[in-house]
Amino acid sequence: MTILQAKQAQKSGANHSVADSHTDDGFSDLHPAYSTLQAMAESNRCLYCYDAPCVTACPTSIDIPSFIRKISTANPDGAAKTILSANIMGGTCARACPTEVLCEEACVRNVAEDTAVEIGSLQRFAVDHLMARDLPHPFKRAPETGKQIAIIGAGPAGLSCAHRAAMLGHDVTVFEAKAKPGGLNEYGLAAYKMTDDFAQREVEFLLGIGGIRIEYGKALGRDINLQALKDSYDAVFVGVGLGSTNNLGLKGEEFPGVDDAIKFIEQLRQTEPKSDMPVGNNVIVIGGGNTAIDAAVQAKRLGAGEVTLVYRRGPENMSATEFEQDLAKTNGVVVRYWAKPVAIKANGKLMGMSFEKTELDASGKLVGTGETFDVPADQILKAIGQKIKPDDLAGMEITGGKIIVDDTYQTTAPGVFAGGDCIKSGEDLTVQSVEDGKQAAIAIDAFLKTTSA
Amino acid sequence: MADLSCKIAGIDSLNPFWLASAPPTDKKYNVVRAFEAGWGGVVWKTLGIDPPVINVSSRYGAHHDQNRRLLGINNIELISDRPLAVNLQEIRECRKEYPDHVIIGSMMAPIEERVWKDLAQQIAESGVHGIELNLGCPHGMCERGMGSAIGQVPEMVEQVTRWVKDAVDIPVFTKLTPNITNILWSAEAAYKGGADAVSLINTVNSIISVDIDNMIPEPVVDGKGTHGGYCGSAVKPIALNMIAEIARTPETKNLEISGIGGITTWKDAVEFMALGSNAVQVCTAAMIYGFRVVDDLIDGMSQWMDDKGYTSVEQFTRAAVPQVADWNELNMNYDTKAVINTDNCIECGRCHIACEDTSHQAITMTDKPEGGRVFEVVDEECVGCNLCYHICPVPDCITMEPVKTDKPPMTWPEHPLNPMRAAAE
């Protein structure tokens, strides 16, 4: 742990230890923003590597050494432009990226010193600095092409695509099912990662490029359909994410108190003050990803007495990063590994859940041991994965629960492109979705030049 | 612990570390704190004739690195702005209370024999061990015909030195300005004038930075700035060269030297002494960190001496001087190559891009099949320039290894490709 990290841990510990304090509701910044002094000190730890490993590790290939150097020379707005030119949602990624398995894992400072440069915090410092100033949008649009692009979904992929397409001179209409833009940035990330309405502020900033119109309350399959969009627009981008969740397949799953973790987080994100959000006294969270951790930690911070996170395999198998797992433990979440849910227990009201212990058999297959235990609960949150809603995606081939795209992000439907969580491009991360959207916009631009030639 | 006592210009000192004439030695309060901290001596802030000068507000400018560490300071402060009698009384008190510590009186005056002699005698009567002639300040005082205005004219350096030597019977240090074309001219002048030692360097004339919001050189005094004296670790290389030149030149090598110029660590002090200084003076490091830095100067030097088996500072004083040569004396047949220790390499790529863009394209960068990259020196292209060795952030990752050769040493004057040699034959 660097001194800076230690200081922050101290700070955040002080902030979060008393969830019901008058000054803090437990949902202030997980990583407090850097002061100018912290940014100066940490930026000077960067060695300004050539062909840097951190850049390779970033899905959006942000020129990290260049932006950090600009911070160190007192040019934070220039740093922000370097970041945003590669990743228009650099502000969200600075807050939500699992940097410990991306850029910071690749940092050469790990090799000899075991402590990476805190790239995420520096990125946030730069982007926040620029966004806090009332400056014109930092990017210019190319001359208008007269081409119309429809984008389905105002999440990270859709908005990233919209911004890049607008920069390339196209006119963009975004169709969004919900009432607000931002997708999972607005509805899915933990509240303590996205304080001060950042998702909305970022979208407002992004729209500053011009040439982008968003229509809210327009869901694919309900209010709009792919064929009609194909007919009316020169190209279509599908960035619908994963609209459906996996079920446990247990009796009683529809019982009140049994919810999807993603819906719990969505409701929490839209509740102000956070203390108005209802939470159980004994909460069980099922799953091993970052959504499970986000739900468990936030349930605890809302005041749940006991939060038990149950995962069917061991800690090394969790898709949640080590940092996230530690976060759950330091927030008082009880984590139980090697157990799977076998029954929901209810008696007029939700009582709890039965689990069977699991292990790997000789062939490495996960099996139940026959030994069971019960955990009382008045709320159960399922975080066992999301999946695509195939009904609305007629005309595009889907395999393994993901839309098939070629190297240029084009689906099997000509002129229809896709990106983000609904395609198989890598981890289900904001930063990957932003990259998908950006690259798809560049591909669409090339496609439009070919078709109009 | 090694014995750090030393002698310069006949003056015995507890250790070679003195505070230079500057704000830290302005008055008794500071000097007492300095002696208590462990400094062997002080050169009192420069005394002039009454009435005392008036100083301006805003006096220092700074040269920072990007991490806000001070690499250098420049100052536009003048000499002591307190009455002469007050300074001399405090000197007397300090001499009495700290009889084992050295106090040198620094002075400057207009170029008039009577003034120099009178002032020197008054200072000598206060009980100082010696007198230092401030012929160096490159700001303010030079506009009044003092400081570097005298130090830049060798004849005046000699004259002033002789006046003071004639007037007092204690050792005289002539303090030299680096703001000249050849330090040997003023050093030789001091020698001819009878100086017991020279002190150098005084500050380097400089404008340290510009306030680019208001377009004023810094430090700013009500909308204007002026050039000032630059000091601190950034000027160390300038000082080392001038000291070495004096120490190795036959006409000046008998001068004792009080080395000054950005000494910050014990290693800096060792280098100053190895190149010719009999003792050293420090100012900026104390201004940045306080008098306590002397603890590291003393401890580091004595640890190093113990490690090397030195029992007195005289044993390494001037030890590097014989190895200071003219370029024409260097062996053209000597060759070194960079060697990268891949076990220590953190793969930052800095050596590659520095060599590729600005040197000899002698370090290749290749992707490894298992990920990461490997950096290798192309011996045929490597000229042994040391650039990669210096910029590598990991100590001992890149070393410079001499190439074995059968060729005898050969200097440029002896070299067959030297057209001057061909012409001479």
Domains of chain B: 6-323 (3.20.20.70), 328-424 (3.30.70.20)
Q: To the nearest 10°, the Cα dihedral for B76, B82, B83, B88?
A: -110
Give the model's pLDDT for residue A14. Answer: 37
- Across the interface, do A73 and B66 touch by the CB < 8 Å criterion? yes
User: Which residues in chain A are contacts of B393 at CB distance < 8 A?
Assistant: 47
Within a domain: A370:
yes
Catalytic: B351?
A: no
Amino acid letter, residue B326: D
Domain boundary among A382, A410, A443: A382
> To which residue do tokens 């350096």 refer?
B157
Domain count, chain A: 3
Average pLDDT, 10 consecutive residues per value, chain A (453 residues): 45 38 72 95 96 96 98 96 98 96 96 95 98 96 97 98 98 97 95 95 98 97 93 97 92 93 96 94 96 96 96 95 94 97 94 96 95 97 91 86 95 96 85 98 96 68
CATH of the domain at A374: 3.50.50.60
**Interface membership of B352 toward A (CB under 8 Å):** yes
Within a domain: A186:
yes
Burial class (CB in 10 A: 0-12, 13-18, 19+), B136: buried
pLDDT band per the 50, 70, 90 thresholds, residue B168: very high
Q: Cα A415–A416–A417 angle (5° rounding)?
A: 115
Within a domain: A33:
yes
**Same domain for A394 and A360?**
no
User: Which residues in chain B are contacts of A109 at CB distance < 8 A?
Assistant: 346
Within a domain: A141:
no
Assess whether pLDDT exceeds 80 at residue B117: yes
Condensed to tens digits (0 to 9), the pLDDT of residues B293-334 reads 999 999 999 999 999 999 999 999 999 999 999 999 999 999
Give the model's pLDDT for residue A428. Answer: 83
**Same domain for A72 and A92?**
yes
Give the model's pLDDT for residue A24. Answer: 66
Any idea what DSSP says for residue A410?
A: B
Assess whether pLDDT exceeds 60 at residue B338: yes
8 A C-beta contact, residue A327 and residue A296: no
**CA neighbor of B171 nearest in space, from B57, B258, B259:** B258
Taking the C-alpha atoms of residue B130 and residue B21, their distance in angstroms, rounded to an integer, is 13
Ordered alpha helix ranges (H), B138-262: 148-151, 154-167, 183-193, 236-248
> To which residue do tokens 């000197």 refer?
B91
Q: In A, what residues contact B, Cβ < 8 A?
A: 40-41, 43-44, 47-53, 72-73, 108-109, 111-112
**Same domain for A265 and A206?**
no
In chain B, the N- to C-terminal Cα span, in Å, equals 57
8 A C-beta contact, residue B161 and residue B172: yes
User: Which residues in chain B are contacts of A111 at CB distance < 8 A?
Assistant: 346-347
**Same domain for A267 and A310?**
yes
Closest CA of chain A from B345, distance in Å = 9
- Across the interface, do B349 and A52 touch by the CB < 8 Å criterion? yes
**CA neighbor of A288 nearest in space, from A318, A265, A323, A327:** A318
Burial class (CB in 10 A: 0-12, 13-18, 19+), A420: buried
Q: Cα A149–A155–A160 angle (5° rounding)?
A: 55
- Residue A143 CB partners (closer than 8 Å, separation 6+): A169
- What number is the ipTM of this complex? 0.88
DSSP B235-289: GHHHHHHHHHHHHHSTTTTTSEEEEES---SHHHHHHHHHTT-SEEEE-HHHHHH
Instruction: Measure CB to CB from residue B67 to each of A44, A48, A52 and give the nearest one.
Output: A44
Residue A362: CB atoms within 10 A of its CB come to 6
**Same domain for A229 and A288?**
no
**Interface membership of B227 toward A (CB under 8 Å):** no
- Residue B34 CB partners (closer than 8 Å, separation 6+): B19, B24, B25, B42, B286, B291, B294
Taking the C-alpha atoms of residue A409 and residue A438, their distance in angstroms, rounded to an integer, is 10
Give the model's pLDDT for residue A453. Answer: 55
- Across the interface, do A40 and B349 touch by the CB < 8 Å criterion? no
The boundaries of the domain holding residue A280 are: 245-382
Taking the C-alpha atoms of residue A282 and residue A374, their distance in angstroms, rounded to an integer, is 12
Any idea what DSSP says for residue B103?
A: E
**Same domain for A304 and A412?**
no
**Same domain for A177 and A83?**
no
Condensed to tens digits (0 to 9), the pLDDT of residues B366-391 reads 999 998 999 999 999 999 999 999 99
Is residue B134 classed as helix, strand or coil in its secondary structure? strand
Taking the C-alpha atoms of residue A313 and residue A310, their distance in angstroms, rounded to an integer, is 9
8 A C-beta contact, residue A244 and residue A417: no
Within a domain: A142:
no
Is residue B350 classed as helix, strand or coil in its secondary structure? helix
Residue B115: CB atoms within 10 A of its CB come to 14
The string over A326-360, giving b where at least 16 C-beta atoms fall within 10 Å of a residue's C-beta and e elsewhere, is: ebbeebebebebbbbbebbebeeebbbbebbbbee
Give the model's pLDDT for residue A400. Answer: 86
DSSP B295-348: HHHHHHHHHHHHHHT--SGGGTTTTTGGG---GGGS-TT--EEEEE-TTT----
Taking the C-alpha atoms of residue A318 and residue A326, their distance in angstroms, rounded to an integer, is 12
Catalytic residue among B137, B142, B392, B397: B137
**Same domain for A161 and A106?**
no
- Across the interface, do A51 and B365 touch by the CB < 8 Å criterion? yes
- Across the interface, do A53 and B372 touch by the CB < 8 Å criterion? yes
